[in-house]
């Protein structure tokens, strides 16, 4: 037992008692407590176990810098892991659980690990757990790693709002410097936002107090709040500015319980960083024992929570700021002894030992005494104050540089950064009057700054010395000692970035707030460099952990990567369509509740036997319009399009400038100066972008425009031997005889008062009609077609069946049957390359040496022996065995064909065309089979079915 609650004092609502449990034991707290203050008030000392060595740990600090008191908190049956006990408000009926401990923090099964500590220095895992195999140790180590436990039932709804805001001045930090800056800026009529991560403004003033402008600081703070509001600004408390990003964007997390927390993206014209400073530990032996705390934190617990952290308190310091703490604790009734490293400590009534260094802590599960000058003195708490580290993160994230100030023994901002000023403790001003003056100036204040009695801050640097005896902790959270820093130096990891990664110093959830500077100072001493020379590691957002839900906002599930939806989705679903994603669209894959393989085979067979309807609305329809449309269409395409007659359709490829097939599709010539480029559903945006860029770069934009009409049209395709009969039965008033409407042509008409286009294009190899109407008419067209289907023995078809049908014909699907090297001649299309004299995208690449090389992968069919199973898509065709096994290409498409009643496959094979008839080995997951290179088209190679 060390801490206890005072009868009075603290910013608590003493009338309201709260009940909670910690590691299963019940305790009481008071409204206004943090979890940490309630634990301290109850005399709880051990709140967790250290990360590596499982040493008992107590509460060190009072706010976000806390490295030890990490807890899981269960509220209303939902547990949130890895919270800081020092920042979490105590609520009624919560169950708090220590992390990294079993069965509890107080008793721990893995306590023996600490005795093996000498076998587990920094980086030990690079040198151990190797024999016989790492995998043998991995499960046990994984079980022991990590901190809290994830609760899979804790799935908060995606409701966190995100706000964007602008202001003239953003003041980060609502302490004296921040408030002075806000005051100055607001009074000169600027819109000021003040952000502070605590529930109330004041910063250090909340526990250290202060007289400002002759009165209590709270009055002054209220006047600032009023001034900010009057000038149109905002004061946001319980809000953490966690990152500064490019172009002065500041992101902040606003806690608004019981409403969902919010994310703010603020674009200020100027930023004032007044984020204060964090107290550093002294790196003395056994400084990680429960009961060893930050001196400033002890004052917070006394003044804010009415908790005394001990009855016999030792305070070790190297600077003046600890004295106010010691005096307050003494006044509250504790026996306080000061141990000052310096020769001339300030005047005080307290008992002070000068030139005193802590040599050790007595007590293994908690402070029982402190050893100084060879003697052990009884104590139940040891407060350490090693100086203050300015909280410069938000400046440094924006690439502000730091310099080491000898007098302050601190890293402070160096040169100015465009648009950002630092003021107060964050800038090395550790007294109230100095902080107010700096804040006033940072806010552009004229005249006198808000006044306060002059303060004094002196410090004598007490950086860790190499070879200092005993186990001295530098990073509590990562369990890194001074010896580990020395080890890193010995092994050559002398850069701070290497020190960090080799020892994990500064890599825990506290990101080194209490350890980074001690660590780099130790490394500096070890390597004989100045602190400036040694430098700091890169500062990266977030400043403190931010819930993922706040960053994600409402983007979850379907909103993360929204799929494009068909106009007829409701109708498809009503007909039992199983919807799946294809190229960014949600489309019917097959229909009905039957086992998918069976349903798909049935749909494909019916399409070949009779007729089927599928929805092709997702295919891109990009119109190229104008007197120069033909020239742009030609340039953009591998195939000449200017020679296409109006009313006709041509199939072709779009290449990238490296000659690789980028997309394929048909183009319709609607009129002399109007083309419709139809590209794959998944490539529409990219094709549109290419056309638009070439149009702007190479052509006169007044003579050609590009228009994406994909969403305006719905396209329903009727395919199969009985397709013409069915389309005729729709009474569309379009001539359907083959002379009027040959394959690869289209006709226009009307449907329900709007335009209609009937195109004879086939992706199945059977006679097929693509009927396009404005999306608003899609439903009635579909209804009309569907009504006729049974009469012709037809049915609905999804994409899976369509993929089989096209594969039976050897039709390529770009991106599936092609890869990043496939050129048109690899697919068997040579014509335009030989014939075209004009420029087109990718032309020159088709004549590079690599385009003509032997050994290019060519698109071929693959046949398997009778009775064999289908090949695995992705399986490699190989040559040779064992270490000499070499890939000749791979299977790109593979299906069971209901039409041919055997498997069919397509693939890219080295010199495929020359290998026709050859039987090759196919390798997959350790097994080999055989496949024979065949022609692409397994069904109706003459294409008779197109006009059947």
Selected range binding another protein among 383-391, 776-784, 841-849, 929-937, rule: CB under 8 A: 841-849
How far apart are alpha carbons 387 and 410 in whole angstroms? 8
Selected range binding another protein among 199-207, 241-249, 640-648, 710-718, rule: CB under 8 A: 241-249
If one asks whether residue 230 binds another protein (CB under 8 A), the answer comes out as: no
Answer yes or no: are the C-beta atoms of 907 and 886 closer than 8 Å.
no
Angle between helices 482-490 and 496-503 (to 10 degrees): 120
**Beta strand spans in 173-287 (E):** 192-195, 211-212, 215-216, 234-236, 239-245, 249-254, 262-273, 277-279
Selected range binding another protein among 94-102, 222-230, 244-252, 349-357, rule: CB under 8 A: 244-252
Residue (of 723, 685, 688) closest to 705 by Cα position: 688
Selected range binding another protein among 32-40, 85-93, 508-516, 836-844, rule: CB under 8 A: 836-844
Can you tell me which of 456, 839, 900, 916 binds another protein, judged by CB under 8 A? 839
How far apart are alpha carbons 267 and 252 in whole angstroms? 11
If one asks whether residue 848 binds another protein (CB under 8 A), the answer comes out as: yes
If one asks whether residue 844 binds another protein (CB under 8 A), the answer comes out as: yes
Q: For another protein, which is the closer residue by CB, 806 or 843?
A: 843
Can you tell me which of 207, 843, 915, 945 binds another protein, judged by CB under 8 A? 843
Q: For another protein, which is the closer residue by CB, 80 or 821?
A: 821
110, 169, 174 from 32: Cα distances, Å: 35, 32, 20
Q: Shortest Cβ distance from residue 691 to another protein (Å)?
A: 10
Answer yes or no: are the C-beta atoms of 170 and 193 closer than 8 Å.
yes
If one asks whether residue 374 binds another protein (CB under 8 A), the answer comes out as: no
Q: For another protein, which is the closer residue by CB, 364 or 696?
A: 696
SS3 (DSSP) at 29: strand
Can you tell me which of 135, 246, 739, 834 binds another protein, judged by CB under 8 A? 246
Q: For another protein, which is the closer residue by CB, 446 or 697?
A: 697
Q: For another protein, which is the closer residue by CB, 490 or 844?
A: 844
If one asks whether residue 247 binds another protein (CB under 8 A), the answer comes out as: yes
Residues near another protein (CB under 8 A), total:
22
Q: Shortest Cβ distance from residue 102 to another protein (Å)?
A: 43
SS3 (DSSP) at 346: coil
Selected range binding another protein among 341-349, 525-533, 812-820, 843-851, rule: CB under 8 A: 843-851
Answer yes or no: are the C-beta atoms of 426 and 405 closer than 8 Å.
no
Can you tell me which of 658, 887, 918, 932 binds another protein, judged by CB under 8 A? 658
Q: Is the dihedral of CA 722, 935, 663, 675 positive or negative?
A: negative
Q: Shortest Cβ distance from residue 343 to another protein (Å)?
A: 47
What would the x/- binding string for another protein be over residues 682 to 711, using CB under 8 A?
A: -------x--xx--xx---x----------
Q: For another protein, which is the closer residue by CB, 223 or 658?
A: 658
If one asks whether residue 135 binds another protein (CB under 8 A), the answer comes out as: no
Can you tell me which of 14, 89, 265, 554 binds another protein, judged by CB under 8 A? 265
If one asks whether residue 847 binds another protein (CB under 8 A), the answer comes out as: yes
- Residue 561's CB: how many other CB atoms inside 10 A? 9
Selected range binding another protein among 93-101, 146-154, 179-187, 246-254, rule: CB under 8 A: 246-254
Q: For another protein, which is the closer residue by CB, 848 or 900?
A: 848
Q: For another protein, which is the closer residue by CB, 247 or 854?
A: 247
If one asks whether residue 153 binds another protein (CB under 8 A), the answer comes out as: no
Q: What angle do CA 525, 526, 528 make, to 5 degrees?
A: 60
What would the x/- binding string for another protein be over residues 8 to 47, using CB under 8 A?
A: ----------------------------------------
Selected range binding another protein among 215-223, 354-362, 779-787, 837-845, rule: CB under 8 A: 837-845
23, 79, 110 from 103: Cα distances, Å: 8, 17, 10
Residue (of 621, 604, 505) closest to 897 by Cα position: 604
Q: For another protein, which is the closer residue by CB, 67 or 682?
A: 682
Q: For another protein, which is the closer residue by CB, 8 or 697?
A: 697
If one asks whether residue 126 binds another protein (CB under 8 A), the answer comes out as: no
Q: For another protein, which is the closer residue by CB, 487 or 686?
A: 686
Q: For another protein, which is the closer residue by CB, 553 or 646?
A: 553
Q: For another protein, which is the closer residue by CB, 691 or 802?
A: 691
If one asks whether residue 657 binds another protein (CB under 8 A), the answer comes out as: yes
First to last CA, the chain: 94
How far apart are alpha carbons 760 and 54 in whole angstroms? 74
How far apart are alpha carbons 181 and 442 in whole angstroms? 6
If one asks whether residue 245 binds another protein (CB under 8 A), the answer comes out as: yes
110, 485, 640, 698 from 125: Cα distances, Å: 18, 16, 63, 59
Can you tell me which of 77, 132, 593, 849 binds another protein, judged by CB under 8 A? 849
Q: What angle do CA 21, 23, 25 make, to 5 degrees?
A: 50
Q: For another protein, which is the closer residue by CB, 141 or 693?
A: 693
Answer yes or no: are the C-beta atoms of 588 and 796 closer than 8 Å.
yes
Q: For another protein, which is the closer residue by CB, 165 or 376?
A: 165
If one asks whether residue 267 binds another protein (CB under 8 A), the answer comes out as: yes
CB burial of 438-467 (b: ≥16 within 10 Å; e: otherwise) equals: bbbbbbbbeeebbebeebebbbebbbbebe
How far apart are alpha carbons 309 and 264 in whole angstroms? 37
Q: CA gyration radius for the chain?
A: 37
Q: For another protein, which is the closer residue by CB, 141 or 689?
A: 689
Q: Shortest Cβ distance from residue 418 to another protein (Å)?
A: 8
Q: For another protein, which is the closer residue by CB, 82 or 656?
A: 656
If one asks whether residue 845 binds another protein (CB under 8 A), the answer comes out as: yes
- Residue 750's CB: how many other CB atoms inside 10 A? 12
Can you tell me which of 399, 598, 885, 930 binds another protein, judged by CB under 8 A? 399
If one asks whether residue 465 binds another protein (CB under 8 A), the answer comes out as: no
How far apart are alpha carbons 110 and 49 in whole angstroms? 9
- The answer to whether the bond into 132 is cis (omega within 30° of 0) is yes
Helix (H) or strand (E) holding 298: helix 295-305
Q: Shortest Cβ distance from residue 181 to another protein (Å)?
A: 24
Q: Shortest Cβ distance from residue 843 to another protein (Å)?
A: 5
Helix (H) or strand (E) holding 301: helix 295-305
DSSP 519-547: HHHHHHHHTT--HHHH--PPP-S-SS---
If one asks whether residue 187 binds another protein (CB under 8 A), the answer comes out as: no
Q: What are phi and psi for residue 48, nearest 5 degrees? A: 180, 180
* Residues at the interface with another protein (CB under 8 A): 245-247, 249, 265, 267, 399, 657-658, 689, 692-693, 696-697, 701, 839, 843-845, 847-849
């Amino acid at each position: 037992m060390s801490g206890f609650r005072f009868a009075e004092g603290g910013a608590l609502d003493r009338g309201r008692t709260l009940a909670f449990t910690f590691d299963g034991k019940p305790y009481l707290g008071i409204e206004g407590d943090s979890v940490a203050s309630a634990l301290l008030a109850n005399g709880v000392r051990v709140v967790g176990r250290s990360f590596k060595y499982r040493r008992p740990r107590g509460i060190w600090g009072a706010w976000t810098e806390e490295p030890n008191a990490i807890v899981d908190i269960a509220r209303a049956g939902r547990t949130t892991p890895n919270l800081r006990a020092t920042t979490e408000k105590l609520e009624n009926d919560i169950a708090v659980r220590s992390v990294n401990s079993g069965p509890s923090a107080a008793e721990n099964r893995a306590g023996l690990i600490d005795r093996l500590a000498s076998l587990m220095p920094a980086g030990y895992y690079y040198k151990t757990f190797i024999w016989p195999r790492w995998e043998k140790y991995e499960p046990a180590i994984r079980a022991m790693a990590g901190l809290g436990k994830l609760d899979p039932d804790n799935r908060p709804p995606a409701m966190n709002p995100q706000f964007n805001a602008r202001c003239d001045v953003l003041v980060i930090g609502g302490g004296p410097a921040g408030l002075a800056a806000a005051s100055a800026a607001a009074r000169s009529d600027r819109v000021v936002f003040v952000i502070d991560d605590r529930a109330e403004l004041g910063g250090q003033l909340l526990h250290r107090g202060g007289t400002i402008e002759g009165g209590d600081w709270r009055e002054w703070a209220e006047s600032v709040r009023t001034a900010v509001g009057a000038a149109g600004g905002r004061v946001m408390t319980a809000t953490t500015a966690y990152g500064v990003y490019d172009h002065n964007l500041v992101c902040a997390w606003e806690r608004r319980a019981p409403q969902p927390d919010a994310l703010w993206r603020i674009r200020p014209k100027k930023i004032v960083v007044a984020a204060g400073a964090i107290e550093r530990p002294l790196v003395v032996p056994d400084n990680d024992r429960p009961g060893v705390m930050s001196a400033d934190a002890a004052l917070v617990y006394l003044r804010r929570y009415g908790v005394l952290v001990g009855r016999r308190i030792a305070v070790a310091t190297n600077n003046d700021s600890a004295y106010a703490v010691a005096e307050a604790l003494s006044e509250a009734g504790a026996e306080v002894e000061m141990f000052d490293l310096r020769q001339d400590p300030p005047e005080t009534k307290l008992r002070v030992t000068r030139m005193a260094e802590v040599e050790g802590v007595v007590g293994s599960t908690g402070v029982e005494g402190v050893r100084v000058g060879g003697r052990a003195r009884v104590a139940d708490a040891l407060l350490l104050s090693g100086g203050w580290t300015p909280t410069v993160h938000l400046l440094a994230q924006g690439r502000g540089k730091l310099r080491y100030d000898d007098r302050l023994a601190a890293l402070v901002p160096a040169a100015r950064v465009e648009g950002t000023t630092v003021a107060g403790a964050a800038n090395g001003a550790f007294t109230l009057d100095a902080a107010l003056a700096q804040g006033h100036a940072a806010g552009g204040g004229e005249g006198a700054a808000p006044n306060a009695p002059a303060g004094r801050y002196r410090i004598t640097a007490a950086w860790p010395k190499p070879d200092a005896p005993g186990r001295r902790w530098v990073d509590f959270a990562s369990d890194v000692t001074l010896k580990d820093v020395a080890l890193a130096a010995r092994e050559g990891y002398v850069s701070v970035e290497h020190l960090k990664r080799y020892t994990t110093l500064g890599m825990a959830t506290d990101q080194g707030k209490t350890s980074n500077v001690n660590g780099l100072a130790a490394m500096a001493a070890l390597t004989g460099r100045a602190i400036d020379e040694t430098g700091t590691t890169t500062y990266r957002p977030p400043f403190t952990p931010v819930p993922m839900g706040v960053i994600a906002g409402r983007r979850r599930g379907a909103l993360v990567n929204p799929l494009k939806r068909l106009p007829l989705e409701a109708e498809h679903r009503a007909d039992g369509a199983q919807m799946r994603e294809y190229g960014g669209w949600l489309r019917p894959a097959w229909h009905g509740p039957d086992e998918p393989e069976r349903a798909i085979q049935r749909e494909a067979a019916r399409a070949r036997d009779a007729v089927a309807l599928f929805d092709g609305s997702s295919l891109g329809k990009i119109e190229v319009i104008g007197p120069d449309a033909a020239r742009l269409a030609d340039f953009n395409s591998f195939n000449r399009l200017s020679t296409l007659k109006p009313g006709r359709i041509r199939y072709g490829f779009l290449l990238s400038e490296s000659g690789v097939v980028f997309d394929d599709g048909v183009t319709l010539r609607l009129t002399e100066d109007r083309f419709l480029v139809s590209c794959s559903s998944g490539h529409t945006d990219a094709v549109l972008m290419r056309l638009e860029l070439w149009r702007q770069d190479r052509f006169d934009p007044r003579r050609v425009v590009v228009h994406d009409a994909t969403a305006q049209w719905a396209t329903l395709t009727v395919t199969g031997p009985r397709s013409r009969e069915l389309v005729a039965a729709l009474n569309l008033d379009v001539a359907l005889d083959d002379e009027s409407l040959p394959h690869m042509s289209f006709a226009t008409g009307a449907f329900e008062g709007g335009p209609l286009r009937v195109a004879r294009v086939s992706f199945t190899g059977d006679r097929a009609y693509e009927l396009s109407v404005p999306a608003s008419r899609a439903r009635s067209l579909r209804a009309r077609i569907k009504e006729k289907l049974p009469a012709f023995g037809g049915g609905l078809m999804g994409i899976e069946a369509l993929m089989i049908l096209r594969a039976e014909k050897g039709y390529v699907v770009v991106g599936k049957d092609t890869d990043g090297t496939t050129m048109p001649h690899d697919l068997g299309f040579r014509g335009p390359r030989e014939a075209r004299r004009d420029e087109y995208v990718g032309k020159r690449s088709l004549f590079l040496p690599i385009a003509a090389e032997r050994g290019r992968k060519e698109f071929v069919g693959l046949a398997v022996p009778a009775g064999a199973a289908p090949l695995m898509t992705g399986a490699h065709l190989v040559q040779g065995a064992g270490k000499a096994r070499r890939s000749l290409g791979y299977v790109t498409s593979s299906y069971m064909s209901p039409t041919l009643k055997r498997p069919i496959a397509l693939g890219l094979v080295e010199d495929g065309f020359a290998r026709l008839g050859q039987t090759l080995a196919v390798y997959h997951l350790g097994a080999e089979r055989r496949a024979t290179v065949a022609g692409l088209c397994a069904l109706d190679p003459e294409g008779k079915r197109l006009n059947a």
